[in-house]
Amino acid sequence: MRMYDLIIKKRNGGELTTEEINYFVENYTKGNIPDYQVSSLLMAIYFQKMNARETADLTMAMVNSGDILDLSKIKGIKVDKHSTGGVGDTTSLVLTPMVAALGIPVAKMSGRGLGHTGGTIDKLESFKGFSVEMTEDEFINNVNTKKIAIMGQTADLAPADKKLYALRDVTGTVDNISLISSSIMSKKIAAGADCIVLDVKVGDGAFMKTFEDAKTLGTAMVNIGKSVNRNTVAVISDMDQPLGFAVGNALEVKEAMDTLTGKGPKDLLELCLTLGSNMVVLAKKAKTVEEAKEMLLGTIKDGSAIKKFREFVEAQGGDPTFVDDREKLPKAKYVVPVKSDRSGYVSKINAQNIGLVAMELGAGRATKESIIDLAVGIVLNKKRGEKVEKGDVIAYIHANDESKVEKASKGILENYEIKAEYKDEIPLIYDVVR
């Protein structure tokens, strides 16, 4: 087989066979095919597209390029959750203890975040002593006894995707539905889950800017899941404003705990119930999402969700008294209100840019080497649809470096759109693809 022939075939609109796809993924991962030929093939795929069979084959070729986690020693149906990336997205921290409190095993292997705020692991390090370092046996044992564990990424999952994604990033071939969907699904499948619930974000702050594009991506991923025997559901949700109020690591941890005790933001709770109920149904613990939502709400009402969260923090070396006394979480030196310079209704909050403001305060990593300041970030005080008078506080800046406050304040004001009226209400949940 020659790479040259594959390029020509795809360039002319042909369909690559399973063997051809396996050949190029395997040999590119091993370093046997140069970047320029793979770039050329990716560009041909970008223009000529791949059908569902080719997309599923590409996914499995990338899964098979590295380690595949064996979670078979964990009893029960393992359901994983993945978000295509939002701003102030604390759903994992809320969902996992709620779902685990219902007896559904949550086994997550997580990496650190590169972006506006840290990833789930960074956020959890707000608890003094918390660690994701454990052996695979300890991980499995924790999930079997406590139903929940998060482990740092030790296994080499889908290395082909890592290499291909880096190449796509610099060759103008990222935004093709087959390439994105196979990239995301390959990592989820290699992580060993039986079922997957995806949160596909749509809006200014997301990868997909329109509902149609998000739905196409969601449908492609559900189809991949189906064809490789992993039941998959995709929820299409809004990212035209940050989720909840808090953007920043410890601030989001506090918001997650507020939500677990019934005092959280409405939108965050609603999204968690939608994602969570689909996880519960896939795990076969409920027949309908309505029934599952009631069960999840029950874990908040009877205190089992926050109890599970406390148990999880303690099991991984974190100080559980931080759960009882949230004042112990990392706190910023300065909390500065940002006041509106206009009256009207909040019609939009540019999530992406608010995320960047939080990152500049130190909440996220600009490069892999950056050190996160867990305490800093932004807490929104007004959200879309709310009325504001000139002088009302629209947000609070949490900063440790006073010299960064003025720029952050300006950045927040610039990214709040305040208009005389608010008409076109945007839904939080657009659709669920099954």
Can you read off the two tokens belonging to residue 101? 């409190």
Q: By C-beta, is 295 or 305 nearer to Ca ion? A: 305
Which of the following is catalytic: 163, 168, 285, 382? 168
Q: Active-site residue 398, yes or no?
A: no
Site for ligand URA contains 184 (CB under 6 A): yes
Site for Ca ion contains 244 (CB under 5 A): yes
Site for Ca ion contains 433 (CB under 5 A): no
Closest CA to 160 of 331, 13, 33, 10: 33
Which of Ca ion, ligand URA, none interacts with 246 (beta carbon under 5 to 8 A by kind)? Ca ion
Q: Which residues pair with 399 in a beta bridge?
A: 334
CB–CB of 94/256 below 8 Å?
yes
**Strand spans (E) along 90-147:** 106-110
Complete DSSP assignment for 161-190: HHHHHHHHHTTT----HHHHHHHHHHHHHH
Part in contact with ligand URA (CB under 6 A); list of ranges 175-183, 282-290, 318-326, 336-344: 175-183
Site for ligand URA contains 430 (CB under 6 A): no
What angle in degrees, to the nearest 10, is found between the helix axes of 18-29 and 52-63? 30
Site for ligand URA contains 165 (CB under 6 A): yes
DSSP secondary structure code for residue 157 in this structure = B
Q: Which of 86, 88, 276, 330 binds Ca ion (CB under 5 A)?
A: 88
Part in contact with ligand URA (CB under 6 A); list of ranges 172-180, 246-254, 317-325, 370-378: 172-180
Site for Ca ion contains 264 (CB under 5 A): no
Complete DSSP assignment for 342-406: S-EEEEEE-HHHHHHHHHHHTSS-SSTTPPP-TT-EEEES--TT-EE-TT-EEEEEEES-GGGHH
Q: Active-site residue 194, yes or no?
A: no
CA–CA dist 364, 249 (Å, integer): 9
Number of residues that bind ligand URA (CB under 6 A): 7
Which of the following is catalytic: 65, 183, 277, 340? 183
The CA R_g of the chain, rounded to the nearest whole Å, is 22
Site for ligand URA contains 160 (CB under 6 A): no
Q: Active-site residue 168, yes or no?
A: yes
Site for Ca ion contains 355 (CB under 5 A): no
Q: Which of residues 347-406 bind ligand URA (CB under 6 A)?
A: none
> Using CB under 5 A as the criterion, which residues of the chain lie in contact with Ca ion when the complex forms?
88, 90, 243-244, 246
Residues known to be catalytic: 82, 161, 168, 183, 187
> Using CB under 6 A as the criterion, which residues of the chain lie in contact with ligand URA when the complex forms?
165, 174, 179-180, 183-184, 207
